[in-house]
Amino acid sequence: MSKKVADIPYESLKRDVLSEKIAHSLLNLIKEKQLRPGDRLPPERELAAMMNVSRPSLREALRALQIMNIIDNRQGSGTFITSLEPERLVEHLDIIFTLNDSTYIELFEARKILEVGVAEMAATNIRDEEIGDLEACLERAEKALDDPEAFLEIDLDLHGRILDATGNKILALFMRSISKLGILSRRRTAEHIDVRRQTVKDHHAIVQALKSRDPAAARQAMLEHLSHVEQRMKQIQQMKDE
């Protein structure tokens, strides 16, 4: 165990503290960068003594952090802080959507705020070869109209390429961290041929605006695309509730 990790001032907590507070304390150490990706935590007995908590409470907190992909328990090696990659940290958030359909609508509201800005920025920064890649995506989508799963993959690819075209690494990191949340709603709407056909039309408009290097047009085309899918999503939800 490295000296740095051993010397971390783990917060001493009352023995009857809830496991949620133990997890919160460890998360604070990560946020404060006292614990970093790849660091190994002290052994369970030692860590429990450092935090002045019972081993069962600590074990429950560590189990919760493992489910969240914050830590990784490696058999025979110990417990380590994971890479903390955003894609891994949202891995289990899809359960929210299976429990509450209204969250799909909230997701579209968020996408309408974020992705229209992405399209606008991409129109300014996109390169010719990136335009060519997007046009190739359009051709593939037209050929995959009768294959919902293949169409979904192409849809994700196209939106991802638009995101990359912004040239903004922070924005790309943030957007990719929530992209997994959108897969479930996309899969639900992509099952409908009318949505796939409308999406192809919308994507053509978006790519044309990007090709013209017109930020306002790209923003509007993306907004209309997301509005079309959102409207269909609401209809699907309404039919499900009836």
- pLDDT the model gives residue 116: 95
**What is the pLDDT of the chain when averaged over all its residues?**
85
Q: In this model, does residue 221 exceed pLDDT 90?
A: yes
* Chain CA centroid to CA 55, Å: 33
- On whether the CB atoms of residues 148 and 191 are closer than 8 A, the answer is yes
Question: In this predicted model, which residue has the larger pLDDT, 58 or 235?
Answer: 58
Question: How would residue 91 be classed by pLDDT, with cut points 50, 70 and 90?
Answer: low
Q: pLDDT for 134-177, tens place per residue?
A: 999 999 999 999 999 999 999 999 999 999 999 998 888 778 76
Q: In which residue are the tokens 């995506």 written?
A: 137
The DSSP 8-state label assigned to residue 78 in this structure reads E
- Give the mean model confidence (pLDDT) for residues 66-80: 89
What domains can be seen in the chain, in order of their start residue? 3-84 (1.10.10.10), 94-241 (1.20.120.530)
Beta strands 78-81 and 71-74 are antiparallel
How would you class 3 by CB atoms within 10 Å of its CB: exposed for 0-12, middle for 13-18, buried for 19 or more? Answer: exposed
Give the pLDDT confidence score for residue 111 in this predicted structure: 85
| Residue 209 three-state SS | helix
Stretch 45-52: mean pLDDT: 92
Q: At what angle do helices 128-143 and 193-211 cross, to 10 degrees?
A: 160
Contact 212, 167 (CB under 8 A): no
Confidence of residue 83 (pLDDT cuts 50, 70, 90): confident
What six digits make up the tokens of 103?
Answer: 């969250």
